Amino acid sequence: MITFYSERQLEHCGVTEVLSGEVVSSFECPERVDQVLNRLRERSLGDILAPESFSLDTACRVHTPDYVEFLQTVWPRWHQMYPDTTQAIPYCFAVRGLAPRCPDHVEGQLGYYSLDMTASIVPGTWNAIKAAMDCALAGQQHIAGGARSVFSLCRPPGHHATADQMGGYCYLNNAAIAAQAYLDSGCKKIAILDVDYHHGNGTQSIFYDRDDVLFLSLHADPAQDYPHYWGYADETGVGPGEGFNLNLPLPINRTDWSLYRQALDKALAAIQSYGAEVVIVSLGLDTFEQDPISFFKLKSDNYLELGQLIAGLNLPTQFVFEGGYATGALGLNTVNVLEGFSG
Ligand code: Q9C
Ligand code: ZN
């Protein structure tokens, strides 16, 4: 299996985030991809290629152009206003009750275009976001060209990003952009299977009123964990999208492989009856038992089986990297999914 990866993705390195009210170092760090790359090379999974540079047209079909423009320009604007700081973090928000008006001030815009405080901006953030998107689109082209599978090693991740808001370490929604590219090149039905520990609220919201993308997510019950406001089982889509959104929330304290697998079976059956032409897997590895910010109990061997079960769909499959913060085992767990898939 070929991997698409660009070193430019290392240019984003958040400094700090707030966890349980305390300021800590960012969990979403460049070391994550180093671990995955090391393991990919060790196990000789396949070539690791740098993607070409794509235009922003497809991104602007799933995101608003003003949001994409904001992402490109926010760092220089912030830096000009606050030259002695090392990162921009949103901290005032267009919360309920306030007029949804986009202000001129960079500090106000950070909140306007954010869901939470975890999407920090440093000088290299845009380069990394753009390179991650390029990996997603290069992977899409590879599958469209006839490959059975591909791994888009995207970082920063994407599945929390909505049409016009960043959050949960996500800026551009890499999986959604790939899905749109398949549709624009003639596919009619795409499934996005999101196995990250957290609900893929961004992907859900982008395709919520559409029937050309079936979105399925297995995740921590939003009543118990981030992203808190989305991910319930009764969110099934709206209008033409009704019935094309499947949330499978799982209890945070007793989800091990056997419980996880039951939900996965439901999701795989739904993909089959939908008749998807391509599956995009939003591949988060934060379901791992040792993940520092999550509570599921999956073990490293379970990821081999996860890959095997996805392969059972017998569909062209694009893996798009999302979360996973137990850096020590992240390479092993990621490559286990890919090897399990390849057989
Ligand atoms: N108490 C991804 O995995 N903070 N994003 C959670 C938990 C945000 C995770 C705090 C976690 C975002 C792509
Ligand atoms: Zn996650």
Q: Closest residue (by CA) to atom 2 of ligand 1? A: 323
Which residue, 199, 158, 216, 171, is CA-closest to 68?
171
pLDDT at 84: 96
Contact call for residues 289 and 250 (beta carbons, < 8 A)? no
**Other residues' Cβ atoms within 10 Å of the Cβ of residue 325:** 21
Kindly give the interhelix angle for 257-274 and 300-311, rounded to the nearest 10 degrees: 20
Contact call for residues 150 and 4 (beta carbons, < 8 A)? yes
Residue ranges per structural domain of the chain:
2-54+127-342
12 labelled catalytic: no
CA distances from 199 to 22, 79, 137, 233, 284 (A): 23, 33, 23, 11, 10
Which residue is catalytic, options 63, 142, 159, 160? 160
Distance CA 271, CA 277 (A): 10
pLDDT at 1: 98
Return the CA Rg of the chain.
19
In the chain the first and final C-alpha atoms are separated, in Å, by 11
pLDDT at 99: 76
Centre of ligand 1 from the C-alpha of residue 39, in Å: 24
Q: Which residues of 139-149 are buried (b: 16+ CB within 10 A; e: fewer)?
A: bbbbbbeeeeb
Taking the CA of residue 284 as reference, the ligand 1 atom at the shortest distance is 3
pLDDT at 38: 98
ipTM: 0.96
**Sign of the CA dihedral running 75, 77, 80, 85:** negative
pLDDT at 96: 83
pLDDT at 315: 98
Kindly give the interhelix angle for 65-81 and 125-144, rounded to the nearest 10 degrees: 150
Q: Among 12, 19, 174, which is best to mutate for testing ligand 1, by the most ligand atoms less than 8 A from CB?
A: 19
Q: Among 12, 120, 154, 170, which is best to mutate for testing ligand 1, by the most ligand atoms less than 8 A from CB?
A: 170
Tell if the pTM clears 0.90, that is, is over it.
yes
Q: What is the mean pLDDT of each run of 10 residues along the chain (343 residues)?
A: 98 95 96 98 97 98 98 98 96 84 95 96 98 99 98 98 98 99 98 99 98 99 98 98 99 98 98 98 98 98 98 98 98 98 96
Superfamily of domain 2-54+127-342: Histone deacetylase domain (3.40.800.20)
